[in-house]
Structure 1
Amino acid sequence: MRLALPRWVGTLALKAAVFITVMCCALAALLGVLVHVSVTNQTVGQARDLALSRLADATAAFEAGNSLGWDAGVDPPGLPASLRTLALAGERGTMVADTAGRPTMWAAGPADGGRALAVRVDYAQSARTIEALDSAILWSAGLAIGATLLVGAFAVTRVTRRLHTTARVARRISAGDLDARVDDPRAKQRGRPQDEVGAVAAALDTMAATLQSKLLSEQRFTADVAHELRTPLTGLHAAAELLPPGRPTELVRDRVAALRTLTEDLLEISRLDTGRERLELDTEELGALARRVVRASGADTEIRVVRDARVETDRRRLERVLGNLVANAHRHGRAPVVLTVDGPVVAVRDHGDGYPEYLLAHGPQRFRTEGGAKGHGLGLTIAVGQAEVLGAVLAFANAPEGGAVATLTLPQAPGLPDGAA
């Protein structure tokens, strides 16, 4: 079983904060240990030297038969057992131990009669010094970590903010807004060295500009070709009407009509590409509009009105979308073709082989064919473009039991009641 982590766990800011915290803690711990060990060794060394010096003085006084000071004695109470054992073995040594609740530095050496001569030095001040040093190390480490985190968070936030801006612009470009740009000011300053984020932003802007230029060139080419074809096609149509009746004349007129339809489709696509189409809204009954579309198609299409609805839409554009879907179902699918109205949702289904995989994955593509199969022409491309103008959602799918299903979901204006089925 895989554990699902929260989305914020993978953010760059969190990773940077954790990295900075770990590194600061490790550095503070290393420096604190080094300082603690150094100062402790120095303090203990000074206390040890003082204790051994007093032990030497006490030993000289003891051997001369003089009286010992208050801090020296033979087998004094409180002397650590391990240090006493060392002294009885003929060695000198020192040791820190608690004596009457106070830290004491002991120094002991051998005396006559198998006894131990020892002196003690008050170690309380040295212990307090080490404790104060440890407290200062902890406080300074905490303050240093906090300050480093604030500075690091500020620096990382600036970087992540720029990255989020770049990602947001990339998503806008993917959605079709080719005018979107990052416009990172750092990338525009030529004399200033660019960081990696600025380089990515500049590359994204360059890519968007290049892509926009190519698409505009393709759109202009499509529009120019369509406009240039209209004039000779008009002449061909007029000439075809003058031909004598017969089978060759019918073929010529049929091909001229197909060319005129293709030209008008290209012009419509070029207008949709510019994004300047304007809606002419009116309230329409979806059931009645669907019946008009089926009658105009002249094809045998079953109409099912599960739940009628009144929508505010552009009638001409909606008829164009539904007409293209019905025509595509008859041309590329198999009967029966069913048009279903269920509220603001209109579905067109055939019982053929279904849509190809590339269309389901990427949507309709102009004139594309795959695997030698017949392409879907411009009808579905125009239907998608007009649906976007209407603010509707056009989705393509294959039915589980076979056949292609195109579903158009229209925005229903508030306040418009559903009609009766």
Structure 2
Amino acid sequence: MRLALPQWAGTLAVKAAVFITVMCCALAALLGILVHVSVTNQTVGQARDRALSRLTDATAAFEAGDPIGRGVGLDPPELPGALRDLARAGDRGTMVADHHGRPTMWAAGPADHERVLAVEVDYSQQARTIEGLDRAILWSSGLAIGVTVLVGAFAVTRVTRRLHATARVARRISGGDLDARVDDPRTNDATRPQDEVAAVAAALDSMASSLQSKLLAEQRFTADVAHELRTPLTGLHAAAELLPPGRPTELVRDRVAALRTLTEDLLEISRLDSGRERSEPDSEPLGALAERVVRASGTETEVVVLRDVVVETDRRRLERVLGNLVANAHKHGRTPVSLTVDGPVVTVRDHGDGYPDYLVAHGPQRFRTEGGAKGHGLGLTIALGQAEVLGARLSFSNAVDGGAVARLTLR
């Protein structure tokens, strides 16, 4: 089971935007750090060279007994302690520190009698230069990231829009609309570059066309077979009626009747498959209609009306649906069988072994039976097809305490 995530977290556009943003930020940070370090090293190096040059001149003047000049002092109290210790140890060095509230480059070296000769150089201009550079890096990085994200989002959205269109067509096809096609512009224009989305769209259109051709061929075959069988069956039925009474005649008539029923069922399925069947709704009291269906079935079926309603439906088609459900319950289930009306919901329940797992999961499939069951699987297929024509929802499940449950929900 997948971890539940917010709806926006699973979209390709958001993932791509996050990826582009992260990569832009990482690249901007890397470039900014490189520029900052390079310019800072260059600026600090120039200031250090200047301070050391002045320190060299001041040291020579001090040793010659000449005036050492402005910005130069012996053991100035503001000199950083670390630099003072370094100079007293006999080495020369530099350090940037605040002096009177402004950044200053200090250079210090040893003088006589463990004294330290120090030079201070104003570092304010260089510090402002580095700060301005950092601000420019931040602003330019933010602008570059924004522009890149917008351009990337635009490009990704174009791709995801085409993917969403392909997904919508796939859902329409799975819902039975075999005329649906993606018709991606790139697949129809050989001069344009073909990308992966165009390849998926072309494959889906090709699959839909192939599937439509096969289903149409199957529907034509079913209809042709049923039509071709009607004429000889009519003659066979008439001939069977002329046979003398007896057990063999009863068997022949029974088989001829079963074959005629199968032929009529095939014709009805072919009409439903064609998608040309239309409902002719009228107002019908659902409780009375259910009782009429049970009486016509000639079976011992209990009718329970919890809440009767008047529905706008096609009476003939609804009777066909309920009649097939009741007949299937008695043929493949066990008594007692009940038909319950609860508002616009009609439930047919038996107490047999229940529906097969494949039927509960995928719905009825023609000419498929399991567990030694008799029949062709056409009754429930017809019931499902007629329910779709009515705009109703027919679902199949098994009761917890055993038995098959068919639930028809009318709109």
What does residue 98 of structure 1 align with?
98
Q: Does 1:56 align with 2:56?
A: yes
Structure 1 segment 7-406 matched on structure 2, within 5 A = 7-375=7-375, 377-406=377-406
* CA shift digits 1:103-152 (9 cap, x unpaired): 11111222223222222211110111111111111111111111111111
- Maintained 8 Å contact 1:399/1:405: yes
Aligned partners of 1:220 and 1:301: how far apart in 2?
Answer: 37
Query: Greater CA deviation, 309-318 or 278-287?
Result: 278-287
Mean Cα deviation higher: 332-341 or 78-87: 78-87
Do the aligned partners of residues 26 and 119 (structure 1) sit closer, same or farther apart at CA in structure 2, a change above 3 Å counting? same
Q: Report deviation, 1:4.
A: 4.1
Is this contact kept in 2: 1:334–1:351, CA < 8 A?
Answer: yes
* Deviation digits for residues 357-415 of structure 1 (CA, Å, limit 9, x no counterpart): 1111111100102244334521111111111111111111112222112111222xxxx
Measured in 1, the distance between the counterparts of 2:305 and 2:88 equals 112
Instruction: State, as a whole percentage, how many aligned pairs show the same letter.
Output: 83
Matches of 2:89 and 2:295, distance apart in 1 = 121
Gaps of 5+ in 1: 412-421
- Cα pair 1:96 1:103 within 8 Å, conserved: yes
Give yes or no for contact 2:332–2:373 (8 Å, CA) kept in 1. no
1:261-290: per-residue Cα shift (whole Å, max 9, x none)?
111110000000011112222221222222
Contact 1:354 1:403 in 2 (8 A): yes
Gap regions ≥5 residues in structure 2? none
Distance 2:376 2:331 in 1: 9
Residues of 2 paired with 1:373 and 1:318: CA distance?
26
- The structural deviation recorded for 1:188 is 1.9
For residues 308-356 of structure 1, what are the alpha-carbon distances to aligned partners after superposition, in whole Å with 9 as ceiling and x for unaligned?
Answer: 2211211111111111111111111111221222222222111111111
SS at 1:373's partner residue?
coil
Distance 1:403 1:264, change over 3 A: same
Moved more, 280-289 or 265-274: 280-289
Deviations 1:146-173 (A, max 9, x none): 1111111111111111111111111111
Greater shift, 359-368 or 109-118, is seen at 109-118
Write the distance in 1 (CA, Å) between the matches of 2:280 and 2:87: 110
Alpha-carbon distance, 1:3 to partner: 7.2
Amino acid at match of 2:340: T
Question: Aligned with 2:162: secondary structure?
Answer: helix
Shift of 1:37: 0.7
Q: Secondary structure at the match of 1:197?
A: helix
> Shift of the alpha carbon at 1:192?
2.5
2:98 counterpart SS class: strand
Do the aligned residues in 1 keep the contact of 2:354 with 2:404 (CA within 8 Å)? yes
**How far apart are the structure 2 equivalents of 1:366 and 1:3?**
37
Separation in 1, partners of 2:250, 2:373 = 27
What is aligned with 1:415? Answer: none
SS of the residue aligned with 1:105? strand
Q: Retained in 2: the 8 A contact 1:328–1:376?
A: no
**Aligned-partner residue type, residue 182 of structure 1:** V
Give 1:41 deviation, angstroms: 0.6
Moved more, 396-405 or 213-222: 396-405
Q: Could you say if the C-alpha distance between residues 408 and 376 of structure 1 is closer, same or farther in structure 2, counting changes exceeding 3 Å?
A: farther
* Cα distance in structure 1, aligned partners of 2:63 and 2:385: 113
| Count of aligned positions | 410
Q: Deviations over 1:1-44 (max 9, x none)?
A: x9743121122122112111111111111111111111011001
- Which amino acid in the other structure matches residue 257 of structure 1? A
Deviations 1:28-82 (A, max 9, x none): 1111111111101100111111111111111222222211211222223422222
The 2-side partners of 1:303 and 1:84 are apart by 106
* Letter in structure 2 aligned against 1:277: E
Shift of 1:217: 0.7
Q: What SS does the corresponding residue of 1:369 show, helix, strand or coil?
A: coil
Cα pair distance change 1:398/1:114, threshold 3 Å: closer
- Tell me the amino acid that sits aligned with residue 408 of structure 1: L
Structure 2 Cα separation of the partners of residues 58 and 201 of structure 1: 81
Greater mean deviation of Cα atoms: 289-298 or 314-323: 289-298
SS at match of 2:304: strand
What is the TM-score of this pair, normalised by structure 1? 0.94
Counterpart residue type for residue 147 of structure 1: V
Residue 293 of structure 1 and its aligned partner are, at CA, apart by 1.5
Matched position secondary structure for 1:305: strand
TM-superposition CA deviations, 1:229-288 (whole Å, max 9, x none): 111111111211222222211211111111111111100000000111122222212222
Give me the TM-score of the superposition, normalised by structure 2. 0.96
Task: Indicate conservation of the 8 Å contact 1:332/1:376, yes or no.
Answer: no
CA distance in 1, matches of 2:398, 2:90: 99
Structure 1 stretch 31-40 or stretch 100-109: which is displaced more? Answer: 100-109
Alignment RMSD (CA, Å): 1.6
